[in-house]
Amino acid sequence: MAASSQQKDSLTLKIYLRPTTALPPPAFGPLGLSSYLLDQEPSVASNLRIEYEDGLTGPGKDKSCSIVSTNPDRATQATDSLDCLRLLAKTFLPASSNTTDDQTERIFKILAPSFDPVQAKDMNTLTKIANQIDHHLTLRTFLVGYSISETDWSLWGLIKSSSTFNALLKRAQHPHLSRWFSFIDCLPSSKSTITTLQDQIKNSVKGRSKAGVASVNFDGGLPGAIKGQVVTRFPPEPSGYLHIGHCKAAILNQHYAKIYDGKFLVRFDDTNPSKEKDAILEDLGLLGVKGDRMSYTSDYFDQLYGYATEMISKGKAYCDDTEQEVMKNQRMARQPSQRRDSTTEENLSRFEEMKLGTPEGLRWCLRAKIRYDDLNGTLRDPVIYRCNVLPHHRTGEKWKIYPTYDFACPIVDSIEGVTHALRTNEYRDRNPQYWWMQEALGLRRVEIKDFA
């Protein structure tokens, strides 16, 4: 399997670990290829090692992987995932599988947009890639030739590190790509790669906790908390991986639930149909965070729609078709919308058009009628419902309107029995808005505790 019998440099693939992938993600591609090489040809072990290092400090701070050579004339030979893949292939794969082949370069050209961090999260970009690759794999087992190449591991790594790409495959619209991915993903070396990586990240997190997580400020109790009755929650958007702010919020919420013998809820705020969850639960597991119950805001779409209708009937919400930029300027200038005093009947009719997703309905949004001239900008008639005709990943095409986070969160918190909402102090200006929603609908008030 080795490229040749000639003497090679000994290479060390360094994988830089992070507790979440908000920073550069683990280099699944090079790691998968290295594990495959070591599994298929044990003799490769004399020339290839895998090491795991801290990715938050030191040389790995801005990288996901690198390859270091024992040859002093070529110390560091590769510093990103693609370079590492090419070097591993050139060194260890048969000549027919390395990157000199024109077809290999064609595949890398198709995958190129995914190497950009922004485009790698864009569903449209990834759909175009998936469409091309699916067509390419119609009569093929591998992307290039008749054996696994660096192109296969590059694409496998992209899918493993992208919750967006995972969600795309779950739509079952790319049968050949899905068949190919299942084959690569079920290889013994692929499975051991993921298991080993997860274990390494867990150990890394545990090591950091003594110096970092343990220093998180847990001082001070929860206002009005009663032992055995506290319920906290962590409501992330299902749009990818955890970031550092998420980590602290999740840890704090679980901490207070435990010390008060209460319950800790994990609720995915899936109010945006174009965003889908996948990786967050894995990241929470790596942090040792596990909810007593998991739910989705979409579980409450019917109730939320009912509450929105109730607010309209009470004169506490109105439909608005003001252009977005004009609405923004009016809010900044503390001026009312021309639609603010529309009748209840007009608003209910327009909201029904929104619900149906008609051309007329798509012109409108629903705004809470609070105080357009309030000093607190979050109270200047915020939007609480908007149209989106994209199918929802859980409810399908049932809904054409979706609540905003600012409307749904306080309502679902109250419904689910949350007693204390822990939020970063950047949300402090939104606390009055949060309580207004509950008071407007006669719902139980939830206490808020801010943290830095």
- The answer to whether 292 and 267 are in contact (CB under 8 A) is no
Q: Is 268 helix (H, G, I), strand (E, B) or coil?
A: strand
Q: Name the pairing type of β-strands 317-320 and 383-387.
A: unpaired
258: left (phi over 0), alpha (psi -120 to 50) or beta: alpha
Q: Same domain for 189 and 235?
A: no
Rounded Cα distance, 139 and 26, in Å = 31
Count how many domains the chain has. 2
Considering the domain architecture, whether residues 230 and 173 belong to the same structural domain is answered as no
Q: Is 213 inside a domain boundary?
A: no
- Are 252 and 393 members of one domain? yes
Asked if the structure places residue 279 within a domain, the reply is: yes
| Residue 71: per-residue pLDDT | 67
Q: What's the pLDDT score for residue 113?
A: 81
Same domain, 56 and 145: yes
Write the DSSP assignment of 123-161 as a string of letters.
Answer: HHHHHHHHHHHHHHTTT-SSSSTTS--HHHHHHHHHHHH
Q: What is the pLDDT of residue 21?
A: 42
Considering the domain architecture, whether residues 236 and 308 belong to the same structural domain is answered as yes
Residues 174 and 231 in one domain: no
Q: What angle do CA 415, 420, 423 make, to 5 degrees?
A: 110
> Could you tell me if residue 200 is inside a domain?
no
Structure tokens belonging to residue 4: 């040749």
Residue 83 is part of a domain; what is its CATH number?
1.20.1050.130
Closest C-alpha among 36, 17, 19, 135 to residue 85: 36
Domain boundary among 141, 168, 193: 193
| Domain end position, chosen among 193, 208, 243 | 193
Boundary residue ending a domain (147, 172, 193): 193
**For residues 56 and 20, what is the distance between their CA atoms, to the nearest angstrom?**
10
231 lies in some domain: yes
pLDDT of residue 1: 53
Asked whether residue 5 is assigned to any structural domain, the reply reads no
**Based on the domain organization, do 74 and 144 belong to the same domain?**
yes
118 within a domain of the structure (yes/no): yes
**Distance between CA atoms of residues 447 and 451, nearest Å:** 13
CATH number, domain of 238, equals 3.40.50.620
Shared-domain flag, residues 184 and 274: no
Q: Are 297 and 411 in contact (CB under 8 A)?
A: no
Dist CA 52 CA 197 (whole Å): 9
| 114 and 52 part of one domain | yes
| Phi, psi values for residue 174, rounded to 5° | -130, 75
User: Has residue 208 been placed in a domain?
Assistant: no
Determine how β-strand 11-17 pairs with β-strand 365-368. unpaired
| Beta bridge pairs of residue 396 | 392
Q: Domain span at residue 160?
A: 11-193
Same-domain pairing of 186 and 237: no
Residues in the chain: 452
In a domain, 288, yes or no: yes
DSSP state letter for 222:
-
Per-residue tens of pLDDT for the chain, all 452 residues:
545 444 566 898 888 876 544 445 668 899 999 999 999 988 888 899 998 887 666 665 667 888 888 766 555 678 888 889 988 988 888 765 444 468 888 888 888 887 776 666 678 888 999 999 999 999 999 999 889 999 999 999 888 877 778 778 888 899 999 999 999 999 999 999 888 887 787 676 555 544 444 344 445 678 888 899 999 999 887 665 666 667 888 889 999 999 899 999 999 899 988 666 556 777 777 778 889 999 999 999 999 999 999 999 999 999 999 999 999 999 999 999 999 999 999 999 999 999 999 999 999 999 999 999 998 999 999 999 999 999 998 899 999 999 999 999 999 999 999 999 998 777 788 999 999 999 999 999 999 988 76
168 and 248 within one domain = no
In sequence order, the 6+-apart residues with CB closer than 8 A to the CB of 218 are 252, 255, 256
Same domain, 36 and 157: yes
